[in-house]
Amino acid sequence: MEWEADDRKAVVVGLIEKATNSIKPDLDPRILKSIKSVVRHSDSELRLAAENLMSLMKRDHSQVRYLTLAIIHELFMRSKLFRALIVENLDQLLTLSVGFRRNQPLPAPPAIASKLRSKAIEFLERWNSTFGIHYRQLRLGHDYLKNTLRFQFPNLQANAARVQQERRERELRTKEILLKKYELLKSNFSSIKDEVNSIVDEISECLDILITSKEDNLPLDPIDEEDVDEFRGVELRRIRDNSLKEADKVQENSENKVVFDALRELYKLLVTKHIVAVQESVSVLVRVELSDNRLRDSMLKEFIDIRNHLKSIKKKCEEAGCALTNPADEGEEDIWEEGASESFDISTSSTPNKQSEDHANKRNDSPECSNSKTINVIGKVEDPEVCGTDLNPLKSKLMVEAPVMKWGSFLDNWGSNRDFMANQRGLELDGHWGRVDHDATIPANKIAELNVQAVVYEEEHKEIQQCGAPLKKGGFCQRKDLKVCPFHGPIVARDDEGTPNDAVSMDDEKPDLKLFSMDELLKQAVNNVREMDKEAMKKREYDKKELKRAKLAKVRGHNEAVLRDAALASTSGSSSIGDLEGREKDSLAKMLKKRTTAKDRLARRLLSRKATAKELNLGEDHSKYREAFPNQW
């Protein structure tokens, strides 16, 4: 029985130990859950946990305290017994977590200590707001920290209440606005209805006119109907239907243009104004809250009817061929499309031909064959399908092997043997610079000289490899250097894990190499020793002492390591987590050490030298001054 209890004891204590022995900023939720489940079922376990947590809070490490506090919070919010236990020593807990006593400041590291403090204050506030009424100690602690020591509490509850209040006010305001709108609507209801009715009437009149005019134009319908029967295929039938519908549409012409214009106008009004207005009033009616809902309901019903009616009318209008965006726009679009297609035709059919003809001519004239080839190829690149069709096989063959050239201004006068006018713009240049020869020409070879193909040197694009050396914090070095990474040495090909490929190949022959290297090392060591011996012969009495000392230090180090191992083995609950704990402890201890950054080192160096120098100078100055003026201070 006792044995079992002991075993159990180890469970919760071990769990807590494990949970707090971490350098992570948060608790491991799994461990926390298991702590909760263990503690939940037995009060003795809970007492033990409380005791253990309080002792953990005394640890000289903010990280441990922080995690412990998190566990305490979790249990505090849940268990009554735990609350009673914790509240008894609340002042101690607050001392250890908030660190308000001057003689007991929070331990290192300072960053986590400040986090711990803010968290503790937040927790205390939550505890106080939830359970303060049942525990005087909580109220006292909260009051003391807040009113006597003036700690800044996050004031969560008050903030939440304020937000709530604001929201309520906003809602109230919207309600008021809705009510006002509703009143307005009530007063305007009849007028709105009248307006809507009038526009609806007008539209329907317009439509009537159109339909009557259409009916005159439709004697063919029955025949069409018969025709429809002949089309058995569903697809065809549908197409037929569509075309029939198109045909149903009243086409705009000079006769009914006025009607159409009016209809369009009305339709626009309907869509932009009335439907929107009706929609809005419906939404107002839906949202408004009234004590008497009957009037609202009836209004709502009417409005919905109106809306539906308007929608149907809108649909009719659209059927009649006046969507808001339509007549003009559609027409334009059509025209534009046609134009586009035409131009496309032109470009596809005529220009290439022309070009190719030009090219053909030029080829004949051109002095160099390669040039003509390139030009042809240009043509081919531009629109191969079109060109390919009417090119003869020789040409196509040539084009295949022709190099591609970039476009440039030199292509303008490619292969032309003409002389160019010097003043081709036809400007009167007389009088300023003396006589001008209007008929001066520039010979063709000069032109050719001027229009040499210009080629910009393009660097061969080469992907600069990333360094790719594995980093301590995970990931790989992203630096891109040409040859040598300043951090990881020369850049070599690496595999996915970041080990150099050469190394991998070395790894394959590792044992031999290792042996070899070991042998070599041994040899080297022996050599070294011999050399040292020689040296030692020379200055023995001096070296002897040092050797001894080194040996002693070695022995001491070994002893310490053994002791540490033993201590670890005895303290850790189970061997499985032993080494892990050791590592964690190391890291926890590491957190305590202040990391020396580059800045620190620099500062130390600068400050030390400069400061000392300055001080020296100052001192000298001062002493000189004093000597000169001994009567002054």
Partner 1 sequence: MWKEIGDRESGKLRPNSFITRIRSNRVSSLQLSNHKEIVSPHRGAINSLQVDLTEGRYLLSGASDASLAVYDIQRATDYDGGGLIAKHKPILLVDKQHQNGHKFAISTAIWYPIDTGLFVTGSYDHHVNVWDTNTTQVVMDFKMPGKVYRTAMSSLATSHMLIATATEDVQVRLCDMASGAFSHTLSGHRDGIMAVEWSTSSEWVLVTGGCDGAIRLWDIRRAGCFSVLDQSHSQLGRRPPLLERSTTKVSTSKCSLPGQTSSAKARAPQRKGSSGSGSKHSGSSRILRHAKGSAKQRLHPGLLSSQDRATAHYGAAFDVWTGKASMTLHGHYEHVNCCWYGAHDQELYTGGNDRQILIWSPPKLISEDVDEGDRRTGQPLAVDQDNWSD
Nearer CB in complex with partner 1: 129/396? 129
Can you read off the two tokens belonging to residue 173? 């305001």
Please state the closest distance from residue 39 (CB atom) to partner 1, in A.
9
As measured in angstroms, the least distance from the Cβ of 134 to partner 1 is 4
Min dist CB 117 to partner 1, Å, is 16
**Of residues 439, 452, 373, 382, the one with CA closest to residue 413:** 452
Q: How far is the CB of 611 from partner 1 (least distance, A)?
A: 39
Cβ proximity to partner 1: between 89 and 423 the closer is 89
- Reading the block at residue 138, the tokens are 């909580």
Cα atoms in the 13 Å half-sphere on the side-chain side of 310: 27
Phi, psi of 319 (to 5 degrees): -65, -40
Spell out the residues 6+ positions from residue 415 whose beta carbon is closer than 8 angstroms to its own. 362, 365, 366, 367, 368, 371, 372
| Integer Cα distance of 105 and 148 in angstroms | 18
Nearer to partner 1, 83 or 494 (CB): 83
Report, in Å, the least distance between residue 87 CB and partner 1: 9
Tell me how far, at minimum, the Cβ of 86 lies from partner 1, in Å: 12
| Local structure of 485: helix, strand or coil | strand
Q: Which lies closer to partner 1 via its Cβ, residue 50 or residue 322?
A: 50
Residue number with CB closer to partner 1 (86 or 477): 86
Nearer to partner 1, 62 or 128 (CB): 128
Mark 210-244 as b/e (b = at least 16 C-beta within 10 Å). Answer: beeeeeeeeeeeeeeeeeeeeeeeeeeeeebeeee
Helix (H) / strand (E) containing 545: helix 540-571
CA 126 to CA 85: how far, in whole Å? 18
Six token digits for residue 320 = 């009649």
Smallest gap from Cβ 22 to partner 1, in A, equals 21
Q: Which is nearer to partner 1, 15 or 386 (CB)?
A: 15
SS (H, E, C) 247-296: HHCCCCCCCCHHHHHHHHHHHHHHHHHHHHHHHHHHHHHHHCCCCCCHHH
CB of 131 to partner 1, least distance (A): 6
Residues of the shown chain interacting with partner 1 in the complex, contacts defined by CB under 8 A: 33, 36-37, 40, 77-81, 83, 88-92, 94, 130-131, 133-137, 139-141, 143-144, 148
DSSP state for residue 418 in the 8-state scheme: -
Nearer to partner 1, 161 or 525 (CB): 161
